[in-house]
Amino acid sequence: MTDGFHLVVDSLKLNGIETLYGVAGIPITDLLRLAHDEGLRYVGFRHEQSAGNAAAIAGYLTQKPGVCMTVSAPGFLNGMVALANATTNCFPMILISGSSDRAIVDLEQGDYEEMDQMNAAKRYAKAVYRVNRPQDIGIGIARAIHAACSGRPGGVYLDLTAEVLGSVLDKETAKKSLVKVVDAAPAQLPAPESVTRALDLLASAQRPLVLLGKGAAYAQADDEIRSFIETTGVPFLPMSMAKGLLPDNHAQSAAAARSYAIGQADVVMLVGARLNWLLSHGKGPLWSETTQFVQVDISPTEIDSNRPIAAPVIGDIKSVMAAFNAALKPGEVQASSDWIGEIGKRKQKNIEKMAARLKEDPSPMNFSSALRAVRDALASRPDVYVVNEGANTLDFGRNIIDMFEPRKRLDSGTWGIMGIGMGYAIGAAVESGKPVVAIEGDSAFGFSGMELETICRYKLPVVTIIMNNNGIYRGDAGDGVPSPTGFSPDARYEKIIEAFGGTGYYVTDTQSLNKAVSDAVASGKPALINAIIDPTAGTESGHIQSLNPKSALVAST
C-alpha cells in the first residue's frame, strides 16, 4: 500500500520539480519530511509570502512552475499574496495548500484553520483545482503544471485535503495514476500573415522602436531577439526586468533617451510588454497619438487593451522572433540615420548630466552617490542577480545599476509591490547557485526581513543592502509621536543578521559602501550592509508622485 503523501512527492519528482518552498505545519508537515527524505530540496521559510515569492521567481527564472507549500487558512492566505503577484506578473507558480475537513468547512462548523480555500483563491489565480481522492493526485498536479506554464504563465492554486494526504491505496493503482506532463508550454507559432503584417508596418517606419518587457526575458529567446535588433539596427528600450536582455551599454539602447524615443517613434514594437501604467497606458503626454504598434504577445486578449494595435502577432516570443528573422529581407526594416542620430545626441546629453550627478559625493550619502558606489562594485560581477524594491531605492536603482545579462534584475514588477525582496533573493540564489545582491529601501526590507534567518540557515550567497533613509520615501522622525512615514532613527539593521551568524556592515560613506559590497559579494556568504542615506534625500512616492491623489481642495487654494 502507499498513501497520498507519497503520491504527491512521486508526482512532483516525475515532473522534474526539484525544489519546494514553504512553511511546515498541519496537515503538510509529514509531506515536507517525506519530500526532504526522498531527495527533493525543501527550503523552509519564516513566512509563506516569502516562500511564495521565492517559488514565483524560481518559475520566472526556469520556466518550470515554482512550488510553494503551505498549511490551511492563514498559511494559505499568506501564500496567496505571492500567488496573486505571480499571476499579475505572468510567472508560473503552483501554491499547494493542505485544507481542513470539507464536511466541516462547508457547513462552517468551525474546524481548525477552517476556510473554503479553493473559492478564496479563484479570484486571484490563473486556475484552481482541488484533489478529493488519492488516485487523482497525479492528474491534479499535471493539470496544475499545464495551467501554470502554458500560454500566458501564471499562478495556480492546488488544494489538497488533509484526508487525501492521509488516504491509502494500493501501489499498483497509485503507480498507474501518476502523470508525466508532455510539453507543458507548447510552442505557439504565429500566423504567417501576422508576421508579414508586422514586418510591413516596421518596414514603413521612419522612426521604429522596440520595447522589450519581462515577457521577452521570460521567453529565453535571447539570441533571436538580439539577432533581430542588431540586424535591423532598430533602437530598443528595456522595461525594468528586461534590462540586461541586451546589455545596458549596447549602442542601440535608447534607455538614456527614453521619453524622446517613446514620444517620437512612429512604429513601436512591444515584445512581451503590456501597455499598462508602467507605460502610461500608451497615452499622452509621454506617447504620441499617431504612433502605430506591433505587439508580440502570447495572450490574444492583451491586444487593443489600451491602444489600438495595428499589427498584433500572437505566439510565443521565441517562435515569433525566429519567424521574423526567417522572413526578414536584407534592409527591409531599418532605422533612419536621422533617427539614430537624434537619439544618440540626446543619450549623450543625458548621460553627461547623469555622470555629473553621480560624481557628487555628499555627506551623508544620497541615493545617487550610494547607488553609484554599489554600481561600481558590481561592474566586474555581471553574474550577480540584483533584487530591487523600495520607492526612491527602486527608481534610482533601476536607472543607475546597469545590467549586462538576461533575467538578472528582479524587482517590484507590475504591482510595484513591497515584500518580494528576501523571497526573490532566496529563490534566485537557490535556483542558480549564483550570488545575489538585494538593494532594499529600509521600508521595503521590513516586509520580508525575518528571512535573513532563512538566508543564514541555508548559507546562501545573498548580500542585502539597505538604503537606510529612515523611512518610507524620507526619514521624518515626527515630533515626539512617530510620523506616518518615519521609522526609528539610526536603526541598526546590520545587527539583525549578526544574530544569525551573518556579517553586518554599517557604512556612512561611498568608499566604505563600495568596499563592503565588493567584499561581501566575494565572500559568497550572507551579509547585510546598512547604508546610511540622508533622511531628506528621497522624494514622496519616488518617481510616481503623479499617481498620488491630491485633494481638489488643496489644489484650488
From ligand TZD, Mg ion, ligand ADP, none, interface partner of 238 (C-beta below 5 to 8 A by class): none
| Residues between 123 and 162 with contacts to ligand ADP, criterion CB under 6 A | 152-153
Question: Nearest residue by C-beta to ligand ADP?
Answer: 215
Distance in angstroms (rounded) separating the CA atoms of residues 149 and 132: 23
What is the per-residue DSSP string for 329-348?
Answer: PTTSS---HHHHHHHHHHHH
Tell which one of 6, 130, 274, 307 touches ligand ADP (CB under 6 A). 274
Among 150, 295, 443, 448, binds ligand TZD (CB under 6 A): 443
Q: Candidates 187-195, 210-218, 294-302, 433-441 — which segment interacts with Mg ion by CB under 5 A?
A: 433-441
Residue 143: alpha-carbon gap to chain centroid = 24
548 is written with which cell numbers? Answer: 498620488
| Closest C-alpha among 310, 315, 233, 235 to residue 272 | 315
Q: Which is nearer to Mg ion, 497 or 533 (CB)?
A: 533
Cis peptide before 285 (omega within 30 of 0): yes
User: With binding defined as CB under 6 A, does residue 464 bind ligand TZD?
Assistant: no
Residue 97 or 443 having the CB closest to ligand TZD: 443
Contact between 469 and Mg ion by CB under 5 A: the answer reads yes
The residue among 32 and 149 lying less far from ligand ADP, judged by its C-beta, is 149
- Please answer whether residues 18 and 48 qualify as being in contact, where contact means their C-beta atoms are separated by less than 8 angstroms: no
The contact mask relative to ligand ADP for 204-233 (x = CB under 6 A, - = no) is ---------xxx--xx--------------
Minimum Å distance from CB 217 to ligand ADP?
Answer: 8
Looking at 297, 302, 442, 534, which residue binds Mg ion (CB under 5 A)?
442
The CB-of-469 to Mg ion minimum distance in angstroms stands at 4
Q: Which amino acid is at 418?
A: M
Q: Is 390 in the site for ligand TZD (CB under 6 A)?
A: yes
The three grid cell numbers given for residue 463, joined into one nine-digit string: 548580500
The three-class DSSP label of residue 40 is coil
Q: Kindly state whether residue 315 participates in binding ligand TZD, applying the rule CB under 6 A.
A: no
Measured distance CA(473)–CA(393) in Å, rounded? 9
H helix runs in 150-278, sequence order: 162-166, 171-177, 192-203, 214-218, 222-232, 258-264
What is the grid cell recorded at 537? 534625500
With H, G, I as helix, E, B as strand and everything else as coil, classify residue 520.
helix
Cβ nearer to ligand TZD, comparing 298 with 439: 439
Q: C-alpha cell of 491?
A: 536603526
Beta pairing, strands 2-3 & 168-169: antiparallel
Binding part of the chain for ligand TZD, among 100-108, 305-313, 334-342, 414-422 by CB under 6 A, reads 414-422
Residues 524-543 that bind ligand TZD (CB under 6 A): 538, 542
Binding site for ligand TZD (CB under 6 A): 390-393, 416-419, 441-444, 467, 469, 472-473, 538, 542
